[in-house]
């Protein structure tokens, strides 16, 4: 077990919360089951990981978010009881939920019935309405953050905290499921607001109703682009049992155009409640009609006794009515079968025999809003649309740029739909390329990323720009460019390395040799003086042989003659001196 996780087991925080066991982990924190000894109840304690607790900026954000969420009080929001921070630990104390996440529930159940999906959606919307009224945006609504209690009550978890956790997971290169629920404005790097939560809820509703994600892809970038384009298959095409009105509400909630989306959770809740009332009223009406037909309505409750028994005449009438209903039901069944057979034969055989091929002039879709076109019921009956996307900052998001075939073409109507390819603008925003010339490599990368651009590094030699500093960018500084595009940054690799042919310096005087080196862009290093048979002051050797190829500015060493060694002159032997007799000594 991770030591960061088990270090708190068995400890008591603030002399109050006794840590019992780990119940969840994330990139930002570890969640423990604990006992609140003061109130004698189980709670969940989320403790910030040690490495993040040492980050002052992250600690400050964690405290602000946690304290704000602690003000929320709603039956569909996981309650935050306490927020504490010391020099060593940051944690929040929350309501302990005994249940499963909506993600776990859908993994077992698959697509939910529309009534169950509606029941859950209403509760989530109420939670969002309450939080938004308090100025708090969740920023990461997804099934993993939605809990289902055993009685079917929904609890939305991690208001305000979830965005911090997703940020940390992305920094740690962990897989984050949020990209499937991200609002288009978040995918473009814009600051999310309450309408971003509504979009994410719309995606969750779509998944509950169909059992599928509206957008999927091999990479997060592909999925994000699909969110921006907004091309989800209508949910009732996946599951025909979904009522049209509930499908409309879902698609409006997850509209890629933030202005066409529900602007408040209250408006979304209003439509959901109205739909539920209509369905309930329709259900009651059909039940009453059925009951009247079969005399199941009992306006008064009769006491137990003979008065409640059926008379013979009444029994005979009922049997007669039952036979009549059975005969009529059988006749209707036969008629429905015959109609079905005729429709089948007409669609797959008779129509081609008795009908001439119908043709239609293709309308001009260019300039129209993509959603208006694909959601038009008459268009959906006639055409089968395929969509491609292009980044064009000059054309609004969702506007159709071109179509294939072109407008005005006369085309034959076919049962599977006329195939039309639409090219739609993603409406990505433009920004200007920052001026990073003469900035270091790391500074340039940071500034480009902050401006919303990707980058590609190439190297080039330069005699004027210091190595590892920016020579140029493509596009140039100040030029407009779609955010997310790649800027090519040329970095200096230092001066260009040139070569010269090593001149012959032997035989020249020292000063002449030094001048020759300078004239050939070579560097004089040092001279060693040695005796030789050559004239004094003459170069007799060089560190690199003549006529070899050598890099400019290479240091060259010289050996210079001091002349031949001097020969010593022979010396004459001295003549013997005369011996002078010692005086004062008499001979014997």
Place of tokens 């059992």: 211
Residue ranges with strand state E in 272-417: 359-361, 383-390, 400-404, 410-412
- Could you tell me which residues come within 8 angstroms of residue 389 by beta carbon, excluding any fewer than 6 positions away? 225, 229, 423, 424, 425, 426
Gap between the Cα atoms of 275 and 313, Å rounded? 45
b/e map 326-349, b = 16+ CB within 10 Å: eeeeeeeeeeeeeeeeeeeeeeee
The residues that are catalytic are: 140
Gap between the Cα atoms of 129 and 581, Å rounded? 144
- Could you tell me which residues come within 8 angstroms of residue 498 by beta carbon, excluding any fewer than 6 positions away? 521, 551, 552
CA distance readout (Å), 204 to 43, 56, 242, 523 = 28, 35, 15, 73
Strand order in the sheet with 80-85: 12-13, 17-25, 29-36, 41-48, 90-95, 80-85
Residue 181 is classified by DSSP as: G
3-state helix, strand, coil in the chain (%, to 5): 35, 25, 40
Which H or E run contains 58? Answer: helix 56-69
The sign of the CA dihedral 450, 456, 461, 467 is positive
Gap between the Cα atoms of 246 and 456, Å rounded? 47
Q: Is 332 helix (H, G, I), strand (E, B) or coil?
A: helix
CA distance readout (Å), 570 to 105, 275, 567 = 118, 132, 9
């Amino acid at each position: 077990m991770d030591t960061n996780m088990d270090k708190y087991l068995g400890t008591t925080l603030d002399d109050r919360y006794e840590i019992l066991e780990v119940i969840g982990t994330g990139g930002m924190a570890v969640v423990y089951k604990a006992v609140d000894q003061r109130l004698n109840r189980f709670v969940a304690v989320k403790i910030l990981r040690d490495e993040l607790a040492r980050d002052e900026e992250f600690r400050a954000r964690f405290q602000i978010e946690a304290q704000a969420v602690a003000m929320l009080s709603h039956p569909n929001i996981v309650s935050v009881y306490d927020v504490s921070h010391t020099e060593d630990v940051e944690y929040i104390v929350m309501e302990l939920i005994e249940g499963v996440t909506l993600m776990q529930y859908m993994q077992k159940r698959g697509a939910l019935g529309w009534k169950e999906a509606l029941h859950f959606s209403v509760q989530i919307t109420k939670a969002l309405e309450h939080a938004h009224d308090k100025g708090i945006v969740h920023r990461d609504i997804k099934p993993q953050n939605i809990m289902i209690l055993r009685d079917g009550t929904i609890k939305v978890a991690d208001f305000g905290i979830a965005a911090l956790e997703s940020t940390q997971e992305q920094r740690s290169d962990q897989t984050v499921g949020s990209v499937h629920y991200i609002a288009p404005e978040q995918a473009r790097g814009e600051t999310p607001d309450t309408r971003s939560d509504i979009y994410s809820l719309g995606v969750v509703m779509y998944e509950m109703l169909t059992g599928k994600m509206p957008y999927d892809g091999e990479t997060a970038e592909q999925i994000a682009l699909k969110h921006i384009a907004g091309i989800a298959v209508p949910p009732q095409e996946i599951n025909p049992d979904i009522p049209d009105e509930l499908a409309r509400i879902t698609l409006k909630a997850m509209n890629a155009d933030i202005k066409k989306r529900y602007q408040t959770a209250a408006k979304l809740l209003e439509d959901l409640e109205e739909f539920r009332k209509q369905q309930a009223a329709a259900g009651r009406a059909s039940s009453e009609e059925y009951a009247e037909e079969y005399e199941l309505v009992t306006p008064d409750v009769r006491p137990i006794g003979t008065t409640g028994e059926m008379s013979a005449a009444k029994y005979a009438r009922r049997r007669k009515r039952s036979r009549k209903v059975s005969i009529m039901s059988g006749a209707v069944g036969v008629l429905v079968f015959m109609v079905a057979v005729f429709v089948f034969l007409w669609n797959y055989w008779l129509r081609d025999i008795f009908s001439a091929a119908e043709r239609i002039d293709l309308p001009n879709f260019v300039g129209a809003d993509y959603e208006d076109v694909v959601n038009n019921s008459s268009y959906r009956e006639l055409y089968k649309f395929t969509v491609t996307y292009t980044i064009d900052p000059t054309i609004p998001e969702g506007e159709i740029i071109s179509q294939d075939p072109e407008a005005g073409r006369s085309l034959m109507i076919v049962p599977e739909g006329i195939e039309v390819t639409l090219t739609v603008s993603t409406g990505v925003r433009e920004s200007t390329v920052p001026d990073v010339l003469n900035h270091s490599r790391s500074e340039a990368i940071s500034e480009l990323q902050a401006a919303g651009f990707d980058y590609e590094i190439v190297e080039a030699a330069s005699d004027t720009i210091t190595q590892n500093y920016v020579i140029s960018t493509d596009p140039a500084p100040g030029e407009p460019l779609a955010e997310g595009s790649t800027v090519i940054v040329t970095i200096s690799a230092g001066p260009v390395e040139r070569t010269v042919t090593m001149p012959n310096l032997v035989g020249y005087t020292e000063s002449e040799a030094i001048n020759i080196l300078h004239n050939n862009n070579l560097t004089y290093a040092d001279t060693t003086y040695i005796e030789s048979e050559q004239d004094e002051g003459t170069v007799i050797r060089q560190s690199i042989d003549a006529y070899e190829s050598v890099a400019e500015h290479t240091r060259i060493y010289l050996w210079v003659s001091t002349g031949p060694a001097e020969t010593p002159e022979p010396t004459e032997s001295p003549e013997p001196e005369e011996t002078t007799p010692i005086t004062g000594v008499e001979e014997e």
